[in-house]
Amino acid sequence: MMNKYTGTVGIVGLGYVGLPLALRFAEAGVQVLGFDIDQSKVDALNAGRSYIKHIGNEAVALGKQRGLTATADFARAAEPDALIICVPTPLNKYREPDLSYVTGTMDSLVPYLRKGQLVSLESTTYPGTTEEELKPRIEARGFVVGKDVFLVFSPEREDPGNANFRTQTIPKVVGGVTPACLAEGVKLYSAVIDKVVPVSSTQTAEMTKLLENIHRAINIGLVNEMKIVADRMGIDIHEVIRAAATKPFGFVPYYPGPGLGGHCIPIDPFYLTWKAREYGVHTRFIELAGEVNTAMPEWVVGKVMDALNQRERSIKGSKVLVLGISYKKNIDDMRESPSVKLMELLEAKGAVIAYADPWVPVFPKMREHHFELASVDVTPATLAIYDVVLIATNHDIFDYAMIKAHSKLIVDTRGVYQESAANVVKA
């Protein structure tokens, strides 16, 4: 049975990680104060509305009933007994870690810290961040970490859209700056997570998260490279993977795609690559997988061009419907989505682009990408307009049998269609 946490919790950053965590604490009967610089998120939560599609309004309304409130006023950071930081850690244009969200958030919190508080960083980052960046900022206030203020790193492990796992059931790794810090971190998370996994240091916890994501990035890079080889040989890589997955030991299936997406797999490996250089280590596996995965959108566009060429059409002037533009199926998260890169590459070659994605009704404002587009309805009549339908994200909501029946040409990057067909090209 879980221990009851008697304090209050502040969740800083109310996005795809922070919001589920805030709702879980509220579900466990803990008073939660959410912090975000985006006033629209604050207003939505205080009105009991969700702004993340796979987290419904009902869940947020229930969280509000249980005492979840939100604010953009960081001066209230003194109120909670624990502060959990869930802010982005992107890369800059040189593929180097951008810790400005983490350090900026910590700088906003530090003036209001008080004795007895726990600070937990959940943002994925390189080993050493917690003690090199957060600890000195806390100590600058005159606090002794491990005595006055407790500091831990506990990496997020959300898998949006995966119905088999939720915040409560995904084991939680925690590492503390001192044994006292670790004890406070374990006490906090044990109140809401079924299994808490303590480790010996914050650096170990930081490296654990990177290993998890690098493991996926490298294996996806491997299977993407295998896909290219299999394609040249006229072999269906998805059939190969299904057959290999029947082996009950020593094999874990990974699936190829049009490129990596999301805020973790395309980004986090480069945090370790960057930090490893400080120690004179070159992470060749990681960088090679990054090269293979980054090249996937170009390879897919090449397959689209070849498929059109077989039908005596050029890419220039062809009407292309991109099916699914979020980075993975059944969610609305657009971060690092390979679909966007595909759209840009196709448009640069003169294609006329449209997209269909019920999870993303209007193309969102993004820092580096912009299309003045809204999702089109997938009907027999609309499918007939397009020269090619490019399946980029395989949402369950699509009627794939109908799409196959009414599309002139389909380029399938997700292995949706197992059987070969005259109008389906696998990419």
Pairing of strands 172-176, 319-323: unpaired
Over its C-alpha atoms, the chain yields an Rg (Å, rounded) of 23
Pairing of strands 319-323, 388-391: parallel
**Residue 133 near residue 120 (C-beta atoms within 8 A):** no
Please determine, for residue 123, whether its predicted confidence score (pLDDT) is greater than 80: yes
pLDDT digits (tens, 9 = 90+) for 174-205: 999 999 999 999 999 999 999 999 999 999 99
What phi and psi values does residue 70 have, to the nearest 5 degrees? -135, 155
Domain count along the chain: 3
Residues 252 and 398 in one domain: no
Residues 196 and 229 in one domain: no
Burial of 292 (0-12, 13-18, 19+ CB in 10 A): buried
Please determine, for residue 94, whether its predicted confidence score (pLDDT) is greater than 80: no
Please tell me the predicted confidence (pLDDT) of residue 159. 78
Residues 183 and 229 in one domain: no
* DSSP codes, 293-304: HHTHHHHHHHHH
Last residue of a domain, one of 276, 294, 312: 294
Residues 162 and 258 in one domain: no
Last residue of a domain, one of 200, 229, 258: 200
User: Could you confirm whether 86 is annotated as catalytic?
Assistant: no
Residues 216 and 344 in one domain: no
Please determine, for residue 114, whether its predicted confidence score (pLDDT) is greater than 90: yes
Tokens coding 97: 């870690």
Last residue of a domain, one of 185, 200, 215: 200
Please tell me the predicted confidence (pLDDT) of residue 4. 83
Domain span at 144: 8-200
Residues 255 and 182 in one domain: no
Is residue 1 included in any domain, yes or no? no
* Nearest alpha-carbon partner for 203 in 108, 100, 279: 279
Residues 260 and 189 in one domain: no
Please tell me the predicted confidence (pLDDT) of residue 155. 96
**Residue 63 near residue 74 (C-beta atoms within 8 A):** no
How far is Cα 57 from Cα 236, in angstroms, rounded to an integer? 42
How far is Cα 355 from Cα 338, in angstroms, rounded to an integer? 13
For 94, other C-beta atoms within 10 Å of its C-beta total 8
**Residue 174 near residue 205 (C-beta atoms within 8 A):** yes
Please tell me the predicted confidence (pLDDT) of residue 162. 76
* Nearest alpha-carbon partner for 122 in 151, 80, 162, 160: 151
* Nearest alpha-carbon partner for 325 in 335, 334, 312: 334
Please determine, for residue 256, whether its predicted confidence score (pLDDT) is greater than 90: yes
Residues 45 and 186 in one domain: yes
Mean pLDDT lowest among 53-57, 109-113, 173-177, 266-270: 266-270
Please tell me the predicted confidence (pLDDT) of residue 1. 58
What are residue 174's DSSP bridge partners?
198
Residues 49 and 144 in one domain: yes
CATH (domain of 132) = 3.40.50.720
From the list 145, 214, 264, 308, the catalytic residue is: 264
Q: What residue has token string 């005596």? A: 312
Please determine, for residue 386, whether its predicted confidence score (pLDDT) is greater than 80: yes
| Mean pLDDT of the residues in the chain | 94
**Residue 404 near residue 410 (C-beta atoms within 8 A):** yes
Q: What residue has token string 């640069």? A: 348
Burial of 331 (0-12, 13-18, 19+ CB in 10 A): buried
Please determine, for residue 170, whether its predicted confidence score (pLDDT) is greater than 70: yes
Please tell me the predicted confidence (pLDDT) of residue 160. 74
Please determine, for residue 28, whether its predicted confidence score (pLDDT) is greater than 70: yes
pLDDT digits (tens, 9 = 90+) for 273-301: 889 999 999 999 988 998 999 999 999 99
Residues 193 and 210 in one domain: no
Residues 46 and 126 in one domain: yes
**Residue 141 near residue 107 (C-beta atoms within 8 A):** no
Is residue 2 included in any domain, yes or no? no
Residues 33 and 177 in one domain: yes
Pairing of strands 388-391, 410-412: parallel
Q: What residue has token string 């050493």? A: 128
